[in-house]
Amino acid sequence: MVNARRPPSPSSPSPAPGLPMKFLKGCLLRAMPCLALVWALSAASASAATSPKIELFSPEGTARQVRQVVARFSAPMVAVGDPRLPDPFDVSCPASGRGRWADATNWAYDFDEDLDAGVSCRFNLKPGLKALDGSSLVGMRDFRFNTGGPAIVASLPREGWSEIDEEQIFILHLDAPATPISMETNAYCAVDGIEERIPVRVLTGAERTAVLAQRKALGYDYMQLLWKSGATTDVRVRNRSMEKRDEVISVVRCQRRLPPATKVLLQWSAGIATASGIRTESDQQLAFRVRSAFIAQVECTRTNPRAGCMPMLPIAVNFTAPVPMARALAIRLRTPRGALLSPVLKVSAQAPVIASVTFPGPFQESSKLTVILPKGLVDDSGRTLERAPRRWSNSRAPLASWNCVKEECCPSRSGMSRRVSRAIPYRWKARYCGWTLTLERSPSGCDACTRRKGPVAT
């Protein structure tokens, strides 16, 4: 009898050739724990995905001008319409506010006002808090934020002002009180042409009180109104931002006198802190320019840059800074005969300061005039003149009506002969010792004079 082997069923897997059955069974048994672990982790992930948690909390970290905190849950937490809805967080914050449910999943906490800098708040989920279906919350339960260190909101003088004093005092409106020691350590003045930093000094006590008493005269905004008719009106409006909350006003100055006509940066560096210890994390700069030195300038109208002053037009004495009215009115213009001329004002005599005075013409042609400044002349901040002006002369300044001279030689002051040559007959005689003249015939037939050398300063 022959034993015939039955062929394997098509549904049953055939072992790989060359691999014993015992080895395959061992591999399957060793893989069972791994499969069980993967199944357990998948079940846990699915459970976590369906468990309620906080999907969004804002703000976090550092944020300025915070007025509201919001939290969004992944599942309904309350029944909308219930007036007795409890807050889900325990709030620890120095600023007052109250919470409310916007809907079943969104909760908000509104502060009574925008938070100042230097405020730190903490929101903790209440223990045992559950969703509306009774399931417990998973994920983060502790959230914190702060409003950063003190920053400059506004300043007097304003940023970009190009006429600050050499010993300028800066009134800074901060968004939170800053400690004086942190300001003196981290704030400084940077001046063009000076490599080292100039530290700042914080004014306190009576010195600070005296400065703040002046802010009512400084805190104005200047605007221009445009009417429908096209007319414009200048308006001065009181800016009271510097009159509120003295604790957020800091008064500082550079510890060194600033050189005139230079750029200055008031550097507000990272590290300046509030009383709560929260420090600034970024730098802030305010750019200014120091006003020019206090000097006096005599100005007049000339036919060209090298010509003398025209005698029929006024002469002005201008200052680079305002001077007291009484001092300005003491300026005199001395004529060749010794007469002293007084200035004429273009503004009201009741003004406390003035920056220019004028002496009306006409003056005698080819004459020497001298501007006399009073002793002790200072500007509105007490600065004396940077340098004394030279004596000014408008000699050799012919009237526009004369156009010919007699030939004659004038005495030389620099060893160079100043000749006046005659090319045509003259009508008027005039001594002209400031430059060389060349006489030419004009197309109209009258005599014309062309200046070749400018006047000599005396």
Q: Does this model's pTM top 0.75? A: no
Tell me: pLDDT of 257 over 90. yes
**Distances in whole angstroms, Cα of residue 394 to Cα of each of 177, 260, 356:** 60, 31, 19
**Distances in whole angstroms, Cα of residue 53 to Cα of each of 50, 59, 125, 138, 307:** 9, 17, 11, 5, 88
Bridge partner list, 264: 191, 288
Domain stops at, among 146, 170, 201: 146
Tell me, yes or no, whether 85 and 112 share the same domain: yes
Element (H, E) at 222: strand 220-226
Tell me: pLDDT of 192 over 90. yes
Preceding peptide of 59 cis, ω within 30°: yes
Residues 6+ apart with CB under 8 A from 347: 354
pLDDT of residue 201: 96
Tell me, yes or no, whether 172 and 266 share the same domain: yes
Q: Determine the Cα–Cα distance for residues 281 and 272; give it in Å rounded to an integer.
A: 9
Q: Determine the Cα–Cα distance for residues 391 and 317; give it in Å rounded to an integer.
A: 13
pLDDT of residue 9: 52
Tell me, yes or no, whether 61 and 127 share the same domain: yes
Does any domain span residue 25?
no
pLDDT of residue 74: 93
Model confidence at 301, in pLDDT bands (50, 70, 90)?
confident
HEC-encoded secondary structure of 401-414 = CCCCCCCEEECCCC
Tell me, yes or no, whether 161 and 274 share the same domain: yes
Pick 394 or 76 by higher pLDDT: 76
Tell me, yes or no, whether 139 and 168 share the same domain: no
pLDDT of residue 409: 34
Is 59:66 a contact under the CB 8 Å cutoff?
Answer: yes
Model confidence at 234, in pLDDT bands (50, 70, 90)?
low
pLDDT tens column, 239-249:
555 455 678 89
The helix/strand count (H/E) of the chain reads as 4, 27
Tell me, yes or no, whether 217 and 269 share the same domain: yes
Q: What is the mean pLDDT of the chain?
A: 75
Q: What is the DSSP letter of 164?
A: B
Tell me, yes or no, whether 89 and 176 share the same domain: no
Tell me, yes or no, whether 123 and 181 share the same domain: no
Is 403:427 a contact under the CB 8 Å cutoff?
Answer: no
Tell me, yes or no, whether 124 and 179 share the same domain: no
Print the domain residue range for 324. Answer: 296-372
Tell me: pLDDT of 378 over 70. yes
Tokens (6 digits) for 398: 């012919």
**Poorest-confidence range of 232-246, 344-358, 411-425?**
411-425
Tell me: pLDDT of 176 over 80. yes
Does any domain span residue 189?
yes
Q: What is the CATH number of the domain that holds 254?
A: 2.60.40.1220
Does any domain span residue 257?
yes
Does any domain span residue 417?
yes
**Distances in whole angstroms, Cα of residue 279 to Cα of each of 115, 118, 183:** 16, 8, 11
pLDDT of residue 54: 94
**H helices present in 178-313, as ranges:** 180-186, 205-212
Is 54:73 a contact under the CB 8 Å cutoff?
Answer: yes
Model confidence at 75, in pLDDT bands (50, 70, 90)?
very high
Q: Using the Cα atoms of residue 241, residue 243, residue 248 and residue 249 in order, give the sign of their dihedral.
A: positive
Q: Determine the Cα–Cα distance for residues 440 and 329; give it in Å rounded to an integer.
A: 44
Tell me, yes or no, whether 133 and 167 share the same domain: no
Q: What is the CATH number of the domain that holds 114?
A: 2.60.40.3710
Residues 6+ apart with CB under 8 A from 451: 304, 306, 307, 435, 437
Q: Determine the Cα–Cα distance for residues 35 and 42; give it in Å rounded to an integer.
A: 11
**Domains held by the chain: number:** 4
Does any domain span residue 136?
yes
Is 280:270 a contact under the CB 8 Å cutoff?
Answer: yes
Does any domain span residue 19?
no
Pick 135 or 5 by higher pLDDT: 135
Domain stops at, among 261, 289, 317: 289
Domain stops at, among 289, 314, 343: 289
Tokens (6 digits) for 33: 């724990």
Q: Using the Cα atoms of residue 329, residue 331, residue 336 and residue 338 in order, give the sign of their dihedral.
A: positive
Is 395:410 a contact under the CB 8 Å cutoff?
Answer: no
Tell me, yes or no, whether 60 and 120 share the same domain: yes
298: how many CB neighbours lie within 10 A of its CB? Answer: 19
pLDDT of residue 342: 92
Percent helix, strand and coil across the chain, each to the nearest 5 = 15, 35, 55
Does any domain span residue 354?
yes
Model confidence at 44, in pLDDT bands (50, 70, 90)?
very low
Tell me, yes or no, whether 277 and 183 share the same domain: yes
Tell me: pLDDT of 415 over 70. no
239: how many CB neighbours lie within 10 A of its CB? Answer: 15
Element (H, E) at 23: helix 21-50
When pLDDT is averaged across residues 291-309 and rounded to a whole number, the result is 85
Does any domain span residue 60?
yes
